[in-house]
Amino acid sequence: MSQPVLRFDVATRVRPCAGEFVSGDLVCWKQVGDSTFVLTLDATGHGREAHRVAEIAERVFGAANLDDPAEFLLSLDEALRGSRGAAAAVARLDAAERCLNYAAVGNISGRLLGRGDSHLVCREGTLGQRFRTPKPQTFELRPQDLLLMHSDGISARFSAETFTDLHTGQAQSVAAQLLERFGKMYDDAGCAVVRVKA
């Protein structure tokens, strides 16, 4: 008997660093068939120049025929050539296959919490400049798993023991708390939270 198709509760939050009106961090997502794609990006620096990089990435993501996260990062690298560059991570959550495909370059943090606490691999480098080829990862997904993706404008110094909403909280609540409790005032900050549901 086949397993039921999963559902994904997605929430995103972004804010600029203190003193700026626009952010170089970008977090966005879209649905393509049975798959939910999530992009988290941190342009180098902050302010208007960083925001322009984020705008380019948003256009590329919106127009892309998405399939493989690592392939998308390679195409995004092409689009960002000549810019100040960015770190980025892309997740593909497949509802029918019940799996996560993930690839990242630069200082984006990714974690999958559920049966354990898996820290997702991020290759060194900067899209639009120089980087190591993204290393794709695949994980099985189960109901109540939680995917976290965030820029370095949010401290990664939290645990499921000290942040109890990570176990059962709605995605919107977890994202809001990540930004409020762990966001750094003098850096752009952005996060994506996905709660897996049966």
Q: Are 13 and 176 in contact (CB under 8 A)?
A: yes
Q: Who contacts 161 (Cβ-Cβ below 8 Å, separation ≥6)?
A: none
Q: At how many degrees (to 10) do helices 48-63 and 69-79 cross?
A: 130
**pLDDT 10s digits, 158-178:** 988 889 889 889 999 999 999
- Nearest-5° Cα angle at 164, 171 to 154: 65
Residue 109's nearest CA partner among 120, 100, 124, 98 is: 120
Domain 7-197 is of which CATH architecture? 4-Layer Sandwich (3.60)
- Residue ranges of the chain whose pLDDT lies below 70: 1
Say what the pLDDT of residue 1 is. Answer: 56
pTM: predicted TM-score of the whole model, two decimal places: 0.97
Say what the pLDDT of residue 115 is. Answer: 84
